[in-house]
Amino acid sequence: MFTPLSVILYVSLYMSLLFALAQLVEKRIKNKSESNNSPWIYALSLAVYHTSWTFYGSVGFAASSGMLFLGVYAGAMIGIALWWFTLKRMVQAKETFRITSIADFISTRYNRSQKIAALVTIIALIGVVPYISLQLTAIISSFELITNSPSSGSEHGLAGWLVTLFMIGFTIIFGVRKLDPTERHQGMIAALVAECIVKLIAFIAVGVFATYILFDGFGDIYNRLQQADLGHVASFSATQDSGIMWLTLCILSFSAIYNLPRQFHVSVVENSNKQYIKTAMWVFPLYMVLINLFVVPIAAAGLLQGMPAESADFFVLLLPQQAGLSSLTLLAFIGGFSAATGMTIITSMTLSTMASNHLILPALERVPSLQFLRSYLLQLRWIVVSVIMVGSLWFSKQFADSYILVAIGLLSFVAVLQFSPALFGGLFWKKGNSLGAFLGLLSGFTVWCYSLLIPTFIKHGWFSESLLIEGPWQIALLRPEALFGLEGLSPVPHAVFWSLLINIGCYIFGSLIFSPNKSERNLTSEFISSMNSAQSRKARPTGLDAYILLEPKLEEAKSLLSNYLPTEKAEQEVLTIAEDLQVHNKPQITIIELVEFHRMVEHVLAGSIGAASAHQAIENTIRYNNREEADLKALYSHIVTELQTTEKESPGQSSSGATGYGIIEELQSQIDDLEDTVASQQKQIVHLEERIEIHHVQAFKYRLETQKTKQDNSKLRKELKLKLGDEESDSE
């Protein structure tokens, strides 16, 4: 129907239009200095949740399992209904701490832990990157389908590389063009919204064709299904374990609407006004209903037309193609292409930010000979995007006909499910701490790998099947798909049950047995307070005498920022901070103004390299002189004396013996030691008082016994005298 060259030209034209739209939006915003954001754009951008797994896979799911595919969206609907209590809190925390990704969010909540940030990033990479390959596979397979080209050869390779290069270029130009990922990517979001509209129109167009052109509406399709003994397509219990699968899919989709890196980015990082959430809470569910309205009719139409059930994933393309409707076939292809590319671009951009901030940058900081690469952080992100895309293309080619790509969607959902205990616990449970979060994430991820990922590779032929049948070391209780004797569940519900149970258990256990230091407790209070506050905090009031020369401090900050930002950008940010603090015209500033200046520098740097890395860079670079250090000690001592039980903000992790930026942490540590000493002395005093009381009681008893003895002796003397007197009388 189409030649490979013509499809490539159509795709190139479509991507060019998206480039033009994004460029137009960026220029309009730059020239008019106004935001392009609106509640509708925000709400529609959230439809990136619907990938090729929705556009193609839902039809295939319905053809085999009936209405069970709705479980992928039922849980998401529940999650959306709670957004005003959950997503709003996340957006408010993002504004305060300049959160850049879900890894940054979770790590910031738990004492800016680099270990937790790195672990979340690794889970996301391993769990989500194969999902990107699924999108590429869908694009390549649909390309081969409408061009009737073989599944291998030069056309196949050209299509894969062309799609990959398009998405690398688009992601870099409009997603990773700026170093600060907390800035709005409004050009990219505009293109994403356009793609979301196109895929919705395309799917509805095919659905209307299948329902009202090929057949006479929903009723006619339902009757024909019953006559053809295909009633399972419209059934809510088409499989034996439907109830368990419904519950499993609801749990997975509920977590996915929060935990997927792309979903977190568009819903939290790209949110410019938390009031937009109210609009999204009804627009997004409406979109979800519309794009799923014709899933069952399309699946039923394909089966009733005699198409093989194995091809159900592509009924959206096959129905108009079989009818000879070239325009509708091309529209359906572009719709599926939009569904796949939208997800791929946002996800690769987000993963590149997470990988550079929490894996690459910490490694560079530990290797002195590589620290010069810090000033090329933006270029490193471009490389990461390219590696992710090319790696996904390689993965899709290696596993194009494998079981792994059939189940990869649910595999990824179970992987990101592991973020849920740490994420939701961090939102609502103040006692949740860094040890609990790390143990929960690590244990849940380990169980996911063992119970779901390894069996998938075994079925692909990478490992021996003896592990599945007999278990490691022939221990049947440790079989990956029947852990601890739990049999009868399909692999996904089984993995969800054990990974989530062990994850939650370790999170709660670790949080209860571990007593975090005051630094983490203070940061936890600050984080939770930021989610409950109506507005972001402004600069704190200043005090004390102004004696600190401002210019050297500005140069010190510029030097630090220039390690990670372009020199012009660094100078502009420092100038903006000085203006915000209203000190740019002052030759000298106070100690509190200086502390606030450093806090805001860290705030800016966090937007580029993440909160944990920014704090570490500040602590290693910024230094106070002797007078400044003495004033900080005096000021902090005064605050502690006057507000002994008030929780105060802490800038981050302590550094033993630090003489610079970590001085407050050192003071806090000293106070903790003093409090421990006082508590110990109080225990000793109580113990001594108890001993004194015992001695008093014993002395009192001794006095009573002594007095009683004296009385008895006196009585005996009297009796003895009387007896002696009687004897003398008798003798006379």
**pLDDT tens figures, 499-541:** 999 999 999 999 999 888 777 887 888 788 777 765 544 333 3
Q: What is the DSSP letter of 539?
A: P
Considering the domain architecture, whether residues 472 and 552 belong to the same structural domain is answered as no
Query: Are 509 and 539 in a shared domain?
Result: no
Alpha-carbon distance 305 to 682, whole Å? 85
Shared domain for 590 and 632, answered yes or no, is yes
The answer to the question of residue 698 being in a domain is no
pLDDT tens column, 106-161: 998 998 888 999 999 999 998 888 888 888 888 888 888 888 765 544 555 666 78
Among residues 602, 635, 427, 407, which one has the least CA distance to residue 529? 427
- Please give the single-letter amino acid code of residue 191: A
Tell me whether residue 151 is in a domain: yes
Q: Which of 513, 547, 580 is the last residue of a domain?
A: 513
DSSP track, 567-624: HHHHHHHHHHHHHHTT-TT-SEE-HHHHHHHHHHHHHHHHHHH-HHHHHHHHHHH-B-
Do residues 446 and 409 both lie within one domain?
A: yes
User: Taking the model in full, what pTM does it have?
Assistant: 0.75
Q: What is the CA radius of gyration of the chain?
A: 34
Q: What residues in the chain have per-residue pLDDT under 50?
A: 152-153, 182, 404-406, 536-543, 644-661
- Contact between residue 276 and residue 366 where contact means Cβ atoms under 8 Å apart: no
Residue 296 lies in a domain: yes
CATH number of the domain to which 94 belongs: 1.20.1730.10
Residue 709 lies in a domain: no
Same domain, 493 and 592: no
pLDDT reported for residue 641: 54
DSSP state of 546: -
Pick from 513, 544, 575: which residue ends a domain? 513
For residues 98 and 183, membership in a common domain is answered with yes
Same domain, 508 and 596: no
Three-state secondary-structure class, residue 337: helix
- Residues 228, 236: Cα–Cα separation, whole Å: 18
Same domain? 387 vs 465: yes
Structural domain containing residue 603 = 535-669
Specify whether 332 is located in the same domain as 245.
Answer: yes
Tally of residues, the chain: 732
Is 265 in the same domain as 139?
yes
Domain for residue 680, yes or no? no
Contact (CB, 8 A) for 128 and 347? yes
Residue where a domain stops, chosen among 669, 700, 716: 669
What's the sign of the alpha-carbon dihedral 268, 274, 277, 279?
Answer: negative
Residue type, 55: F
In the chain, how many domains are there? 2
Q: What is the 8-class DSSP label of residue 660?
A: B
Q: Is residue 724 part of a domain?
A: no
Q: What is the pLDDT of residue 332?
A: 92
Task: Please check whether residues 485 and 542 belong to one and the same domain.
Answer: no
Instruction: Round to whole Å and give the CA distance between 78 and 719.
Output: 96
pLDDT of amino acid 654:
40
Instruction: Report if residue 691 sits inside a domain.
Output: no
Q: Give the pLDDT score at 658.
A: 43
Using CA atoms, how far apart are residues 586 and 317, in angstroms rounded to an integer? 68
**pLDDT, position 437:** 93
Block residue for tokens 């004296």: 710
Domain co-membership, 205 together with 293 = yes
Residue 624 lies inside a defined structural domain of this protein: yes
